[in-house]
Amino acid sequence: MNEVSNQCIVLVGMMGAGKSTVGKALAKHLSWEFTDTDHLIEHQTGVSIPVIFEIEGEAGFRRRESTALASFVGKERQVIATGGGIVLVQENREVLKQIGSVIYLSASASELYQRTRMDKNRPLLQGPNPRRKIEELLAARLPLYKECASVIIETGRQPVYQIVNKISLALNLDQKNESSTQKAIGTE
């Protein structure tokens, strides 16, 4: 795997895969900035994602999501957690690769259901059978996540720090950080 240098790291995966939690921990580990595209959209619009879905529908939300994603092209040293459906738009899949390394955080439908079943802030899961909806979404999106991903990390039941370590190892981040620390010490 190529070194990331200062490019961004983008986390993709289903709702409940841990993108925000892992993203915050990874950003802290690297001393980079963290952004969640859903939170960015909420900040820009002043309303929650469910309200955007209610007023503009999924298509309106996806347009906002594409605009938010495009704002990261050319940025550096940021960890970005994306919405689960960001890969549905072909242009977004191309933009993801331009931004930096794309990490697919993978989890089973059963794990995703357990993590999201009490969350009322997920418009796509508010129907009569949220578990079946997760299975359908995962089946449709899985090939798109894999198409974009530089690295696939199974989140399973492991602690966040282990996932952060796996991402760091896969992207050669710790080696780079150690060598830059040694250079800084050597120049004092």
Q: Span 24-50, mean pLDDT? A: 95
Provide the residue ranges of all domains of the chain, joining segments of one domain with +.
8-186
pLDDT at residue number 68? 96
Pick the residue with more confidence: 101 or 130?
101
- What would the two tokens of residue 133 be? 């909806």
How far from chain centre, in Å, is Cα 152? Answer: 12
The amino acid occupying position 161 is: Y
Contacts with 81 (C-beta within 8 Å, 6 or more apart), sequence order = 11, 19, 20, 22, 23, 34, 35, 36, 37, 38
Share of the chain above pLDDT 70, in %: 85
Binding residues for ATP: 16-21, 122, 158
pLDDT at residue number 184? 38
Count CB-CB contacts under 10 A for residue 122: 18
- Among the ranges given (1-10, 51-60, 64-73, 172-181), the one the predictor scored with the smallest mean pLDDT: 172-181
Nearest-5° Cα angle at 52, 144 to 24: 60
Binding residues for Mg(2+): 20
**pLDDT tens per residue, range 76-121:** 999 999 999 999 999 999 999 999 999 999 999 989 988 887 666 6
Q: Span 65-78, mean pLDDT? A: 95
* Among 145, 155, 6, residue whose Cα is nearest residue 82: 145
Phi-psi region of 159 (alpha: psi -120 to 50; beta: other; left: phi over 0): beta
Binding residues: 16-21, 38, 62, 84, 122, 141, 158
d(CA 70, CA 72): 5
Strand order in the sheet with 8-12: 33-36, 78-81, 8-12, 100-106, 151-154
Residue the block writes with tokens 């580990």: 29
pLDDT at residue number 3? 44
pLDDT at residue number 128? 79
CATH, domain range 8-186: 3.40.50.300
> In the predicted model, what is the mean pLDDT of the chain?
86
Binding residues for substrate: 38, 62, 84, 141
Q: At what angle do helices 130-148 and 90-99 cross, to 10 degrees?
A: 50
Are the C-beta atoms of 72 and 99 separated by less than 8 Å?
yes
